[in-house]
Structure 1
Amino acid sequence: MTRIHASADVDPSAEVGEGTLVWHLAQLREGVRVGTDCVIGRGAYLGPGVVVGDRCKIQNHALVYEPAVVADGAFIGPAVVFTNDLNPRAVTPAGRLKGADDWECVGVTVGEGASIGARAVCVAPVHVGAWAMVAAGSVVTRDVPAYALVVGVPARQIGWVDRSGQRVAERPADTTQA
């Protein structure tokens, strides 16, 4: 059964899959698609057109800006931020307030089963590979390979993880998914 808390702001054009829970004060903007059996935490924000696969968890106060795509089974931790602007400015060089036509959105993509730890920032455009793990507080400025474990500011790879998130000595063999 899909449950959307009364305080959540879900645009009428957003699609929320069967069995998904949308908690207090979450905002799902126009054209958002959320798959089945997901959890969208308190105060989470999903920008226009964001796509979230099945069985994902997007924790409290995560900010997922368009045009992000999150694959099945991914975990987006509390207060994670996905950016979407290569050259963020409030105004044009002429001093006019920028509008939607004054910039091009770039997105973050997250592969199947990947995990992004609490308060991490993913600076678009980046791709976090399938089953990769981004440590809490990291700042991802370049693509993360499938099954990689990355930490720090900027994030750097320090090892490999398996599908359960446990550190392993070598890259798992089933890395055909990115």
Structure 2
Amino acid sequence: MSTGPGPLSPSMKTHKAVTGDGSAISRYADVMVGQHGWGALLRYEFCMLFRNTPGALGLFLRKTFWPKLFAGCGRGVLFGTGISIRHPNRIRLGANVVISDNCILDGRHTEEGPALTVGDDCILADRAILQCKGARISIGRNVGIGPGTLIQTTSNADIRIGDDVMIGPSCTLIGAGNYNVDRLDVPMCRQGMRLQDGITVGSDVWLGCNVTVLTATTVGSGSILGAGAVVNGPVPQYAIMAGVPARQIGSRAPNGGRTEPTPIKVQGRQS
């Protein structure tokens, strides 16, 4: 873990990007489109024209034209209404992904290549938010993300989620550093951050509703995180966790033993 200050780059700070120097078109491209040039801007604006088009017509228009916005988009992807997309050129969607109404996909990153990857056969329920701001999110295959769930990462604290994971409603996964708070004469938001590792969630994991997973956490494969749990440390494979902070209350393992988390291989990356 790095302990030095690690503020986000200016392009990742939303307020500064929106209100900073440059023309309104340039700032809009920095925050929303992810690319400069009239071609990228017009393509993005055309696709947003039917962002809120209801019914079968809206589904058809988005399914036909939206895949061309992304770094990659598999066959059979469905887009609901009211979806917000930022930096689609850094987002890769697998086949048969379902993005439900009012979701937010934010792929902002200063480096080249996809920042947000969603594997085949995943579903994002209404109002789910996946937000990269200078880090990466990688989601495996056959993952269900419940309504109102926030998965957000910054400052190179990548979030990696394995296959066959169930994430309940209103969960929060935050990969980021912690603010330095030692000085009393400087506002905490101006003291920089202590950088930390991100989050790794193994395969075949079940997060109940309102679970919070904090940065620098590894959740072992086959584990269960009970509703309302706050997880801020390693979770053994097959463990059943509950409480604030979460503690192990059982195990799915046949002998009830506690095993240490093992490296989790997820789509395109290994922790």
Q: Please name the residue that 1:165 is paired with.
A: none
Q: Please name the residue that 1:108 is paired with.
A: 199
Whether the 8 Å contact between 2:211 and 2:225 is mirrored in structure 1 is: yes
Residue 5 of structure 1 aligns with an amino acid whose one-letter code is G
Q: Give, in whole Å, the separation in 2 of the partners of 1:85 and 1:2.
A: 30
Matched, 1:17 2:94: yes
State the Cα distance separating 1:33 from its structure 2 match. 0.6
Residue 116 of structure 2 aligns with an amino acid whose one-letter code is V
TM-score using structure 2 length:
0.56
Q: Please name the residue that 2:51 is paired with.
A: none
Whether the 8 Å contact between 2:151 and 2:174 is mirrored in structure 1 is: yes
State the Cα distance separating 1:95 from its structure 2 match. 3.5
Whether the 8 Å contact between 1:147 and 1:171 is mirrored in structure 2 is: no
Whether the 8 Å contact between 2:77 and 2:96 is mirrored in structure 1 is: yes
**Alignment match of 1:135 (pick from 222, 226, 235):** 226
Whether the 8 Å contact between 2:179 and 2:189 is mirrored in structure 1 is: no
Q: Please name the residue that 1:94 is paired with.
A: 186
Gaps of 5+ in 1: 163-167
Residue correspondences, number: 169
Change (3 A) 1:148 1:58: same
Q: Give, in whole Å, the separation in 1 of the partners of 2:176 and 2:196.
A: 6
Matched, 1:6 2:74: no
Residue 251 of structure 2 aligns with an amino acid whose one-letter code is W
Structure of larger gyration radius: 2
Q: Give, in whole Å, the separation in 2 of the partners of 1:89 and 1:147.
A: 35
Change (3 A) 1:96 1:124: closer
Q: Please name the residue that 2:163 is paired with.
A: 72
Identity within the alignment, %:
24
Whether the 8 Å contact between 1:24 and 1:42 is mirrored in structure 2 is: yes
Q: Give, in whole Å, the separation in 1 of the partners of 2:92 and 2:81.
A: 16
Change (3 A) 1:119 1:89: farther
State the Cα distance separating 1:87 from its structure 2 match. 2.1
Residue 94 of structure 1 aligns with an amino acid whose one-letter code is V
Whether the 8 Å contact between 1:159 and 1:169 is mirrored in structure 2 is: no
Q: Give, in whole Å, the separation in 2 of the partners of 1:116 and 1:125.
A: 17
Q: CA RMSD in A?
A: 2.7
| Larger relative helix fraction | 2
Change (3 A) 1:172 1:154: closer
Whether the 8 Å contact between 2:160 and 2:201 is mirrored in structure 1 is: yes
Partner-residue secondary structure (3-state), 1:65: strand
State the Cα distance separating 1:171 from its structure 2 match. 4.4
Residue 43 of structure 1 aligns with an amino acid whose one-letter code is R
Whether the 8 Å contact between 1:121 and 1:139 is mirrored in structure 2 is: yes
Residue 119 of structure 2 aligns with an amino acid whose one-letter code is G
Q: Please name the residue that 2:116 is paired with.
A: 32
Residue 128 of structure 1 aligns with an amino acid whose one-letter code is V
TM-score using structure 1 length:
0.83
Change (3 A) 1:111 1:136: same
Gaps of 5+ in 2: 1-75, 108-114, 265-271
State the Cα distance separating 1:142 from its structure 2 match. 1.1
Change (3 A) 1:109 1:177: closer
Partner-residue secondary structure (3-state), 2:175: coil
Q: Give, in whole Å, the separation in 2 of the partners of 1:63 and 1:88.
A: 20
